C-alpha cells in the first residue's frame, strides 16, 4: 500500500519535474564482520546448497568474503541428518542426494547447525505446504499507463490453500535468467498482501497474480518460469523486510533496520549472524509467450 502512496507522490512531483534523486558519495563507518547464512532448502530433487559468507563494508560491491572451513549439518525431526560440505573452499556447502532421494518433505521441520571459528550457530525452519500453479497466461498490455509501448504481461493462477494462514514467495525467470531486481521480490499472505482482507482459500488476488513481470513485460516467444514457494511466517517477514530495506527511501521511508534473522549463536553474547535458513516447498510452471497462451 505504501508503494501506491509513493507512486502517487511521485506522480505529483514528476508532474512538476521538481523532485530528484542524485547518487552521492557518503563516508560510512564499518561495523564488525559477521557470519552471513544464505540457506534455502527445497523439496526438489538435486543437490541442496548453503552459502556461507561474511558481511562486508556497505559500499564494497565485490563478491562477499567466503567462509571456508565451517562444519554445516542439517537434520530433521525424523532423525535424518545431512552433512553439507565445501570441498573446493568457495563457501558453497553442498549436500548431494542419492538417486531418487530428496531432502525436503512438506510438514517436516529442519534444523541447521554451523560450527565456525569456535562458535556454534543454529537455526530451524518448517517446510510448509504450497498449492500448485494452475495456469500461467499472458495478456497484451501497455508497459505502464504512461507508455505507448506494449508487451505481454504474465498472470499466474493459483488458489490459496484453505484452513490456515499461508505465506508464499513468488520468484520468476525470463528465458532462464533469474529476475533479481529489488522489486522482483514478491511475497504474499494467503494470495494477497499482508494487512488486507482475509483471502484464505481464494484465488490469488490480481496484483499478486500479475506480479511476476519485468518492467519491460515479456516479448513474444519468451520462456517464463514462475516458482511458487511456501514460507514460514518468519521467512515471510525476512523477505518482506529485505525488500523494504533495499527499496526504503523517499518521503515514506521507515527507519532503516536490520533484516531479521533466525540464525542464532548458541553462546549468549557471542557474535551474531545475519541471513536466514528457510525450508520451502516449490511448485513451478513454465510457459512460452505464444498465441495459444495469450488471452484477451
Partner 1 sequence: MKHTLLRWTVALFATLTAVAGARAQTDQNTATRPASQANYTVSGYIKDAANGEKLIGVSVYVKETGTGAVTNNYGFYAVPVPPGIYSLVISYVGYEKQTRTVELTDKNVRLDLELKEEGKQLQEVVVSTQREDDNVKNIEMSVNRIDVKTLQRIPALLGEVDVVRSIQLLPGVSTVGEGATGFNVRGGSIDQNLVLLDEAPVYNSSHLFGFFSVFNPDAVKDVKLIKGGIPANYGGRIASILDVRLKEGNAKKPEVNGGIGLIFSRLSFESPLFKGRGSFIVAARRSYADILAQPFLNADLKGSKFYFYDLTAKANYRINDKNTVYLSGYFGRDVFGADFGFNWGNTTASARWNHVFSDKLFLNTTAYYSNYDYSLDSDLKRKPENADDYFRTNSRIVDYSIKPDFTLFLGKSTITFGGQSILHDFQPGTATAASAGTVRTFGLGSKYGLENALYLGNEQQVSRRLQLQYGLRYSLYTYIGPGEAYDFAQDVPPGQRRPPINTLTYTKGEPIKTYGNVEPRFAAKYELGDNSSLKLSYNRLAQYIHLVSNTTASTPLDVWTPSTNNIKPQIADQIAGGYFKNFGAVSGSGSEFEVSVEMYYKWLQNQIDYIDGANLILNKYLEGDLLSGQGRAYGAEFYLKRNRGVVNGWVSYTLARTERQVVGINNGDWFAARFDRRHNLTTVLLIDPPARGEGRVSRWNFSATFTLASGTPATFPTNRFQYEDFATPVVGGRNNYRIPPYHRLDLAATLQGRKRTGKRKDDNWVFSVYNVYARKNPFSVFFQPNADNPVVTQAIRYSVFATAIPSVTYNFKF
Q: Which of the residues 170 through 189 are near partner 1 (CB under 8 A)?
A: 178, 180-182, 185
Instruction: Enter the DSSP assignment of 164.
Output: S
Smallest separation, CB 250 to partner 1 (Å): 6
Residue 5 or 83: which CB sits closer to partner 1? 5
If one asks whether residue 59 binds partner 1 (CB under 8 A), the answer comes out as: yes
Which residue from 42, 192, 211, 280 is in contact with partner 1, where contact means CB under 8 A?
A: 192
Of residues 62-91, those binding partner 1 (CB under 8 A) = 64
Residue 45, number of CB atoms within 10 A of its CB: 13
Which residue from 162, 164, 197, 290 is in contact with partner 1, where contact means CB under 8 A?
A: 197
Which residue from 45, 46, 97, 207 is in contact with partner 1, where contact means CB under 8 A?
A: 207
Which residue from 57, 132, 177, 290 is in contact with partner 1, where contact means CB under 8 A?
A: 57
Residue 17, number of CB atoms within 10 A of its CB: 7
**Span from 74-82, 111-119, 270-278, 280-288 in contact with partner 1 (CB under 8 A):** 270-278
Binding mask 114-153 vs partner 1 (x if CB under 8 A, - otherwise)?
----------------------------x--xx-x-----
If one asks whether residue 198 binds partner 1 (CB under 8 A), the answer comes out as: yes
Which residue from 122, 245, 264, 284 is in contact with partner 1, where contact means CB under 8 A?
A: 245
Q: Could you give phi then psi for residue 269, rounded to 5 degrees?
A: 85, -10
Smallest separation, CB 83 to partner 1 (Å): 23
Taking the C-alpha atoms of residue 104 and residue 83, their distance in angstroms, rounded to an integer, is: 14
What grid cell was written down for 265? Answer: 549463536
Q: Is the C-alpha dihedral spanning 282, 286, 292, 296 positive or negative?
A: positive
Residue 100 or 269: which CB sits closer to partner 1? 269
Taking the C-alpha atoms of residue 46 and residue 123, their distance in angstroms, rounded to an integer, is: 22
Which residue from 172, 275, 277, 281 is in contact with partner 1, where contact means CB under 8 A?
A: 275
Residue 200, number of CB atoms within 10 A of its CB: 16
What grid cell was written down for 207? Answer: 496484483
Tell me the DSSP string of 170-212: EEEEETTEE--SGGG-EEEETTB-TTS---TTSBPPHHHHT-S
If one asks whether residue 266 binds partner 1 (CB under 8 A), the answer comes out as: no
Contacts of 292 (CB under 8 A, 6+ apart): none
Amino acid at each position: 500500500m505504501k508503494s501506491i502512496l509513493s507512486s502517487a507522490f511521485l506522480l505529483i512531483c514528476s508532474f512538476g519535474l521538481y523532485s530528484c534523486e542524485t547518487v552521492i558519495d557518503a563516508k560510512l563507518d564499518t561495523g564488525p564482520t559477521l557470519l552471513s547464512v544464505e540457506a534455502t532448502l527445497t523439496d526438489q530433487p538435486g543437490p541442496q546448497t548453503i552459502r556461507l559468507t561474511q558481511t562486508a563494508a556497505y559500499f564494497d560491491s565485490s563478491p562477499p568474503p567466503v567462509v571456508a572451513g565451517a562444519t554445516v549439518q542439517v537434520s530433521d525431526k525424523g532423525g535424518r541428518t545431512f552433512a553439507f560440505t565445501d570441498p573446493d573452499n568457495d563457501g558453497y556447502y553442498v549436500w548431494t542426494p542419492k538417486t531418487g532421494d530428496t531432502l525436503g518433505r512438506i510438514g517436516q521441520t529442519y534444523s541447521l547447525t554451523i560450527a565456525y571459528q569456535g562458535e556454534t550457530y543454529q537455526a530451524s525452519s518448517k517446510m510448509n505446504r504450497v498449492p500448485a500453479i494452475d495456469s500461467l497466461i499472458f495478456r497484451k498490455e501497455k508497459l505502464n499507463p504512461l507508455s505507448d509501448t506494449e508487451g505481454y504481461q504474465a498472470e499466474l493462477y493459483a488458489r490459496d490453500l484453505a484452513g490456515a494462514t499461508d505465506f508464499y514467495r513468488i520468484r520468476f525467470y525470463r528465458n532462464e535468467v533469474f529476475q533479481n531486481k529489488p522489486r522482483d521480490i514478491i511475497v504474499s499472505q494467503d494470495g494477497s498482501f499482508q494487512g488486507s482482507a482475509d483471502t484464505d482459500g481464494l484465488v490469488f488476488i490480481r496484483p499478486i497474480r500479475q506480479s511476476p513481470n519485468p518492467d519491460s513485460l515479456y516479448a513474444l516467444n519468451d520462456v517464463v518460469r514462475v516458482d511458487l514457494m511456501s514460507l514460514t511466517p518468519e521467512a515471510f517477514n525476512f523477505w518482506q523486510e529485505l525488500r523494504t530495506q533495499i527499496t526504503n527511501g523517499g518521503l515514506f521511508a521507515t527507519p532503516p533496520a536490520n533484516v531479521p534473522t533466525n540464525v542464532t549463536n548458541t553462546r549468549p553474547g557471542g557474535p551474531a549472524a545475519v541471513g536466514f535458513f528457510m525450508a520451502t516447498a516449490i511448485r513451478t510452471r513454465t510457459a512460452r509467450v505464444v498465441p495459444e497462451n495469450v488471452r484477451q
